[in-house]
């Protein structure tokens, strides 16, 4: 299984080679993998920013605990969840559903109403937490795609979301920065690349009932 080999190869890269850039074709493959991520009800209530501009990343670095990956990586992915979910979001999805599957909107409207009812049962705080979790599913696809392409990545929660929101103008768009991932190529002298991967033994991690 090639995936296992790829996952053994990858690690959270601490030092990137700032001279190497991810090609446009590989970037499109990563974007496609993220687009195909699973999401609850299929709604994809998030947006993914790809920050290539060095000046913007220099502004983001202090809000990222001054970690060098922010500026040295080829690209910085910022996964942002919507801060509210409304009937408009669901209706947009249902219209897209009808268009792409070439069915009448009337025939699937019951599913849309079901989604609205289930989400209405959640408090605003529960909705926000639920939407934030969806971004991690997309992040997982990014990490797997990068590993297959032998592109390094580092999933990061070590940043200040409120400052990202301000710098990137996210609040006005109804978005919140949830998790980030710089991607690129490991530096030759990144010492963490040679460390043994620490994972729980299979018999401790899994239980069959």
pLDDT digits (tens, 9 = 90+) for 122-137: 999 999 999 999 999 9
pLDDT of residue 182: 98
Spatial CB neighbours of 122, under 8 Å, sequence gap ≥ 6: 130
Question: How many other C-beta atoms lie within 10 A of the C-beta of residue 74?
Answer: 21
* pLDDT on residue 1: 87
CATH 3.90.1150.10: does it fit domain 2-85+124-205? Answer: no
CA atoms of 5 and 28, how far apart (whole Å): 23
pLDDT digits (tens, 9 = 90+) for 126-169: 999 999 999 999 999 999 999 999 999 999 999 999 999 999 99
Ranges of H-type helices in 66-104: 69-72, 87-101
Q: Are 12 and 155 in contact (CB under 8 A)?
A: yes
- Is the pTM above the cut of 0.85? yes
The domain locations on the chain are 2-85+124-205
**Token pair belonging to 81:** 């969840």
Q: What is the per-residue pLDDT across 60-98, written as a single tens digit (0 to 9) for each?
A: 999 999 999 999 999 999 999 999 999 999 999 999 999
For the chain, give the mean pLDDT. 97
| pLDDT at site 191 | 95
């Amino acid at each position: 299984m090639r995936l296992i080999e790829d996952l053994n190869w990858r690690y959270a890269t601490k030092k990137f080679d700032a001279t190497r850039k991810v090609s446009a074709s590989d970037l499109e493959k990563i974007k496609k993998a993220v687009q195909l991520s699973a999401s609850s009800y299929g709604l994809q209530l998030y947006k993914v920013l790809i920050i290539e501009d060095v000046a913007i990343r220099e502004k983001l670095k202090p809000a990222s605990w001054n970690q060098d990956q922010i500026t040295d990586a080829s690209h910085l992915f910022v996964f942002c969840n919507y801060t509210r979910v409304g009937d408009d979001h669901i209706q947009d999805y249902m219209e897209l559903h009808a268009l792409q599957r070439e069915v009448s909107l009337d025939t699937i409207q019951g599913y849309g109403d079901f989604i609205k009812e289930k989400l209405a049962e959640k408090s605003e705080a529960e909705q926000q937490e639920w939407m934030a979790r969806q971004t991690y599913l997309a992040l997982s696809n990014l990490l797997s795609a990068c590993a297959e392409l032998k592109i390094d990545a580092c999933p990061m929660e070590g940043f200040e979301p409120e400052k990202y929101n301000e710098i990137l103008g996210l609040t006005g768009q109804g978005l919140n920065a949830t998790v980030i991932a710089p991607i690129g190529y490991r530096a030759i002298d990144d010492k963490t690349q040679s460390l043994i991967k620490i994972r729980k033994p299979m018999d401790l991690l899994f239980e069959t009932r």
